[in-house]
Chain A
Amino acid sequence: MIIGLSHFLVVSAILFGLGLLTVATRRNAVAILMGVELILNAAALNFVAFSHYVEGAVTGMVFALFIIVLAAAEAAIALAIVLAIFRHFHSIDANDVSTLKD
């Protein structure tokens, strides 16, 4: 069995769907962040896959690298925010942080 583009895309879609599911269902802020990581990785996988099938192109790989760096930065900032939220609310449940709503 030859592993083609569609296999990559299916894996990536599953990864994206799991990530989206995680973000949509989890109330723990850290878990949500983890879902976001999954979504980002799905995107990065897509870029790399498409890049592989394009003759002599590195754009997709560069994008993948940027996404990884971005994800790291995002995680750092988001975790800092989560820390700050915990300090303030003594909870990291996303539904508890809804004081702006009312």
Chain B
Amino acid sequence: MGWLRYIVLLPLVGAAINGIVGAPLERRFGRRVITVVAVGVMLAAAALAIAAAVTLAARPEHDRQIVDRLFTMISLGRVHVDFALALDPLSTIMILVITVVGALIHAYSAGYMADDPSYWRYFAYLNLFVFSMLLLVLGDSFLTLFIGWEGVGLCSYLLIGFWYREPANARAGMKAFIVNRVGDFGFLAGVALLFWGLAGSWSVIDHRYYADYPRLVPTLDLRLVHDQLAVAPFAQAFAAKTFLGAPLPLVVALLLFLGAAGKSAQLPLYVWLPDAMAGPTPVSALIHAATMVTAGVYLMVRLHFLFALSPAAMTVIATVGVATALFGAIVALFQYDLKRVLAYSTISQLGFMFLGAATGAWWPAMFHLVTHACFKACLFLGAGSVIHGTHTQDMREMGGLAPLMPRTRWSYLVGCWAIAGFPWAAGFYSKDEILARAYERSPLLWLAGAVAAMLTSFYMFRSYYLTFEGRAASEEQRHAVHESPRSMTWVLLALAAASIVVGPLVGLPELWSGREPLLARWLAPVTAGALTATPERRGLELALMFASLVVATVGWIAARLLYKDLRAREGALATLRSRLGGVPALVLDGFRVDALYDATFVRAFGATARTAAWFDVHVVDGVIAALGALARAAAFITAAIDHYLVDGAVNGVADLLLGAGRALRRVQTGRINNYVLGVAMGVVMLIVLTSWL
């Protein structure tokens, strides 16, 4: 299957064209060419992805796998790492989301960025991001996956700091990159430990099992790791290993989760995502809502067999997930920046996904990933449309936009509807599925999740009412604001439609339709064996569903009461605010976690860096300067030796010879008489000498 690579390579080609010759192309032929290239490759990739999905669906269930090997990256003894792409049902879902939502957002960007001076740079980055993301989800080995993993991190950094003339934006980009490095360390360490653990346990059971299982070689190949851990004695040997006293599966799972938490903005490492809103809004929609931040969830589902080996790790991840869901929702309550509301909402929703994955609800986690990609992209692009129209991100300066921006308003409302979890919209099915699984694990998890869901409903409708309802902030704004161009609004409507359609289409609960949801069936080959069968408790499921509905409604009504007409409720809000005291300000700052990190990690690292710099300047430089002085002294001495001893010897010999020559030339008088006299005297001397001796 050689064509799989073109799905990945097409965006790379687009990035290369726009990145290398984008500036001259734009000068020569105008921006249309840039747009055509960028959106064209995305459309082609999306078409190929759909074709790939259809091809895969046409195959029998056990054969749903397409592998495309490009070349061998490493071949060392028994270890072979290919640069290979593999398409299975799980990555099919991911590439569909990435290419389809990606293509829509590319199209939207053409309108949104139309006046930006760095048009070609933007699309080069965006295409490069899609390339990296596709590599991440299609990569067949940890190494290929990691290339994509780092690539999306790089593109995220480039796009957050896209308007780098503003120092704050550049700082936000760096923050995202550095926080992600912490996660990447976890990822790399986890992979290294996994490799060590597998290769190690292989050597332990080498003699007994090698004949039976010739595939038990040290490997970085994702599917091979899966196959190896499916061999029971092998998996037991792996599970029995320890690292620093802790069971190896726990350590590996937690380290990999650290990587996932960095990418997916989970609790200790979420701090970069709110700041990432400094980038252009379509970027926030594509990278920081729909695709990149879900890479962690994808990683977990991809490695579900590994995580399933350690129930303790699963408990930790479930706790972190639900805590993140609650935390994100609480912080989102008091935000005034429209994009920050959505950012914290994304953190919260990602927490839901991790909660699902950690309770063994693999397909609901993926389901929520897909629906979230649709409705969050819709919400972000809606926010982008609002920002495009009003030139502000502060919701206090908005209000009453509903009649001015009808299409934006309706699509945003649908997005709120979907994320809040009202029936028929996507979020209802996916969130319910996750919460139901969480209830089976522990009612406490469900309770925390339900509270987070209620808060979600509240803050989303709060943002809706503040933005679109009530009275306009000012008369001028009322006249200045206009609906965004059609090239942007049709994307909004498409995504809003997807937010409604996708849920019932792929995840209609068994309770309603009488058959297993499409997505569950589709993912069954991937998550086979790991899927915990849903117990037949219709009553409970219905009750939970009803509870979710109640929770969403409560949130909505509360938001409507408080914010429907903000200026009419000023007084009530003021009393509420005074009763809460300093809490809103605290929450607005995200519980001052940033300040905490600044005070601890950033300061500690800053101090370390300063100490290192001081050490560098004073000690290392001093040593080097001393060495230099020493070398100079040595050179001075050798120069003296050279000058006086060596040159002296040479010149001395020369002077000696010169002097001798001068002295001896007197002998050569040039008078023939003298010479003759000399000869005669010599002869006489010889005669005398010979007669004596």
Contact = CB atoms under 8 A, between A and B. Distances in A.
Interface of A: 20, 23-27, 32, 94-95, 98, 100-101
B568 interface: no
Contact of A24 (B668, B669, B670, B673): B673
A8 B669 CA distance: 36
A89 to B, nearest CB: 13
B670 A26 contact: no
B670 A27 contact: no
Given A23-B676, A24-B680, A94-B673, 10 more contacts: A20-B680, A24-B676, A25-B673, A27-B673, A94-B671, A94-B672, A98-B670, A98-B671, A100-B670, A101-B669
A95 B669 CA distance: 9
Contacts of A27: 673
A24 B671 CA distance: 10
Q: Which 4 A-B pairs have the closest CB atoms?
A: A101-B670, A98-B670, A94-B672, A24-B676
A82 B668 CA distance: 22
B673 to A, nearest CB: 5
B668 A20 contact: no
Contacts of B688: none
Nearest to B669: A101
B677 interface: yes
Nearest to A96: B670
A20 B671 contact: no
Nearest to B671: A95
Contacts of A23: 672-673, 676
A5 B28 CA distance: 125
20 contacts: A20-B676, A20-B680, A23-B672, A23-B673, A23-B676, A24-B673, A24-B676, A24-B677, A25-B673, A26-B673, A94-B671, A94-B672, A94-B673, A95-B670, A95-B672, A98-B670, A98-B671, A101-B668, A101-B669, A101-B670
Contacts of B672: 23, 32, 94-95
Nearest to A25: B673
A29 to B, nearest CB: 9
Contacts of A26: 673
Interface string B658-683: 00000000001111110011001000
Nearest to A23: B676
Contacts of A94: 671-673
Interface in B639-693: 668-673, 676-677, 680
Contacts of B668: 101
A20 B670 CA distance: 18
A101 B672 CA distance: 11
A23 B673 CA distance: 6
A98 B672 CA distance: 9
Contacts of B670: 95, 98, 100-101
A20 B668 CA distance: 20
A1 B361 CA distance: 157
Nearest to B668: A101
A25 B670 CA distance: 14
A70 to B, nearest CB: 19
A91 to B, nearest CB: 14
Nearest to A27: B673
Nearest to B674: A24
Contacts of A20: 676, 680
Contacts of B671: 94-95, 98
A94 B675 CA distance: 12
Contacts of A98: 670-671
